[in-house]
Amino acid sequence: MSITKEEELKGMQRASEVVALILKEMTRFAKPGISTKELDNFGAALFKDLGAKSAPNLAYGFPGWTCISVNNEFCHGIPTSQTVLRDGDLVNIDVSAEVNGYWSDNGGSFVLGPDKNGHQQLVNASKEILKKAISNIKGGVRISDIGFLIETEAKKRGYKVIKNLNGHGIGRSLHEEPSEIANYRDRSNTRRFKKNSVVAIETFISTRSTLAVESGDGWTTVGDKGGFMAQHEHTIVVTDGAPIILTHSNDIWA
């Protein structure tokens, strides 16, 4: 969407504050010994308290309130009672919601407890690359140039990017135009970021794979060549200068 009046900005700020709070509190609540279903149920209570609806459930019928992916799962992980968290797990929580007609999206990967499996470097890379990408976004910048920046920064650190997962426009629905804000230079995409537009910028930084493929449950994806992936995401408003980071309070950069 494009912000055209104060009422729209306030609506996006409210929805973004909600998803940021839920992501932050779910990340804090995660601990060894609980299942991803328990973690999702904790998030569900927050959704209800804050008057929010789960965006993936509302838009696509996703079987959970949030997407929780663990270890070799890349994204869209279904919360289940069978998946029990352990020290050293690479966990990703993606929280998106609709609040009073406005939609916002954010997500973050983190290592649970001690970094027993050596995932922290990947997580740090994803955070740093997202920060650099967002700092370079303003009205008139080519979308493909930001994709090139993300892939270049990933390669510098010895990583790859997932080419079939993208950031996207957001606001009045979960996925809007521009529908493909890729993590690489897509030369066919000649579009530019527009001032006052609302977009969700995401990193998909991988150790081995360049494609996410469905694992068999209809939702969860894994890498085409295995390995691990870290994702971090903010919803922002594009301006002539520094973007407004609507989900800044999720503390993924804390």
Binding residues for substrate, by number, are: 76, 175
How does DSSP classify residue 250?
Answer: G
For residues 40-56, b (16+ Cβ closer than 10 Å) or e, as one string? bebbbebbeebebbbbb
Q: Which residues contact 96 (CB under 8 A, 6 or more apart)?
A: 19, 54, 55, 56, 103, 104, 105, 106, 174
**Other CB atoms within 10 A of residue 114 CB:** 9
Q: 4: which strand partners?
A: none
Residue type, 137: I
Q: What CA–CA distance (Å, rounded) separates 99 from 158?
A: 39
Q: How far apart are CA 203 and CA 192, in angstroms?
A: 18
Q: How many residues does the chain have?
A: 254
Residues belonging to the binding site for a divalent metal cation are 94, 105, 168, 202, 233
Report the C-alpha gap between 225 and 98 in whole angstroms: 34
Here the tokens at position 186 are 């897509």
The amino acid sitting at 71 is N
Which segments are annotated as binding site?
76, 94, 105, 168, 175, 202, 233
**Helices 6-29 and 36-49: crossing angle, nearest 10°?**
150
Contact 72, 222 (CB under 8 A): yes
